[in-house]
Structure 1
Amino acid sequence: MPCYAIEGVIPVIDPSAYVHPTAVLIGDVHIGPNCYVGPNASLRGDFGRIVLAAGANVQDNCVMHGFPQQDTVVEENGHIGHGAVLHSCVVRRNALVGMNAVVMDEAVVGEAAVVAACAFVPAGMQVAPATLVAGIPAKLVRALRDDEIAWKLAGTQTYQDLTRRCLASLTEVQPLPAAEPDRPRVRAPDVKSLIASKRGQATTTKVFTDPQP
């Protein structure tokens, strides 16, 4: 992966974490146990420190950056959706930042809170724990239900499982010229989307694991 030291400061990656080969890590970056960093993510610790705590995920095309002497932090089980931007902010335990959302300087996303897709969380905003915010600028929508918080955690667990799957089997290959007969599907965890669960299809927290020998 593109991994760079600056002024002698080298990124740190726990051996149980997975960082995609196209992600870029620069300088003062700390990636904890069981974390997932997706394709083309950019974690730039060339000004302030970047921290991913245990079990957090930062998905495809996300950017984490910050001002000097300010940390940009995703706490345990934090979940950062595709294309989100975090700048000098803190995302607390089990919180979710949706796809293409932006969280600005000194904002705090509270524990188990959700920032909706495409929302803009302005500098200094304090998102209360277990609430949903949405819009530009982000505004409080409502408190989250227990089943919604459980759904979020199930989604984060799928990324923790993806970390293990990638470490075990993800390899770069040449594409096939045609699909083989009886082509298998990827053996992914059994978790439904939120819209599917709202239609009455039960959400499950089951995570696929291979049977032990």
Structure 2
Amino acid sequence: MRYRHLGVEPRIHPTAVIAPTAVISGDVEIGPECQVLHGAVITSEGGAVTLGESVIVMENAIIRATAINPVHIGDHVLVGPMASISGATIAEEVFIATGSRIFNGARIGARSEVRINAVVHLRTELLPDTVVPIAWVAIGEPLRILPPDRHEEIWAAQRELDFPGYVFGLDHDTPDLMVQLTERYGRSLARHADDTPA
């Protein structure tokens, strides 16, 4: 299904193939020879999403732009099943494996691999040809790639990156953080109430 969101319709190259159960919403441009498979969701939440040439978005993957962080995916990228990309820039020839998570402001260099269930955290940059191993976490500046059992180090870097501040404009130490976060985010997402089929 294709939806007009905030007055903008998706733009899909005539050679791209979009599964009938995929959702494409708003300011989304899909380039030539792309494949978007069943259950995938590509949505603009105030920022543009651009897919280059021959990008494959597999089943149930989610690609979401924000007003602060658009999404750009370069040519010949594979986004695996159930992967999630939010407000990130992906260079050409990148492999994003099943279940991987790429967060707002991340930048993935050309020919990099983010393997199964790996995470590239907020505002983290991978240089070209970087590999994030299965279930590991890439985080921070300078870049650290850590196994999941090193939670304390991951959390220390993650706290510095200030996810609620960067993504939602809220102080992490706000006593009613989740109340403010869900109310603010809910108001933003409610803009979909006026979406129409494109």
Other-structure match for 1:63? 62
Q: Distance in 1 between matches of 2:137 and 2:72?
A: 21
SS in 2 for 1:48: coil
- Indicate yes or no: 2:52 matched with 1:53: yes
For the aligned residue pairs, the C-alpha RMSD in angstroms reads 1.4
Deviations 1:80-99 (A, max 9, x none): 11110000001110011110
Q: Distance in 1 between matches of 2:72 and 2:60?
A: 17
Deviations 1:151-170 (A, max 9, x none): xxxxxxxxxxxxxxxxxxxx
Other-structure match for 1:102? 101
Q: Distance in 2 between matches of 1:131 and 1:80?
A: 16
Q: Distance in 1 between matches of 2:35 and 2:66?
A: 24
Deviations 1:175-196 (A, max 9, x none): xxxxxxxxxxxxxxxxxxxxxx
- Indicate yes or no: 2:112 matched with 1:113: yes
SS in 1 for 2:137: coil
Q: Is the 8 A contact 1:57 1:79 kept in 2?
A: yes
- Greater relative contact order (CA < 8 Å, ≥ 6 in sequence): 2
Q: Distance in 2 between matches of 1:133 and 1:19?
A: 29
How many residues align? The count is 140
Residue 137 of structure 1 and its aligned partner are, at CA, apart by 2.0
Alignment of 1:12-31 (within 5 A): 12-31=11-30
Alignment of 1:148-187 (within 5 A): none
Other-structure match for 1:76? 75
- Larger Cα-atom Rg: 1
The normalised TM-score by structure 2 is 0.67
SS in 2 for 1:22: coil
The normalised TM-score by structure 1 is 0.63
Q: Name whichever structure is richer in helix by fraction.
A: 2
**Percent identity over paired residues:** 25
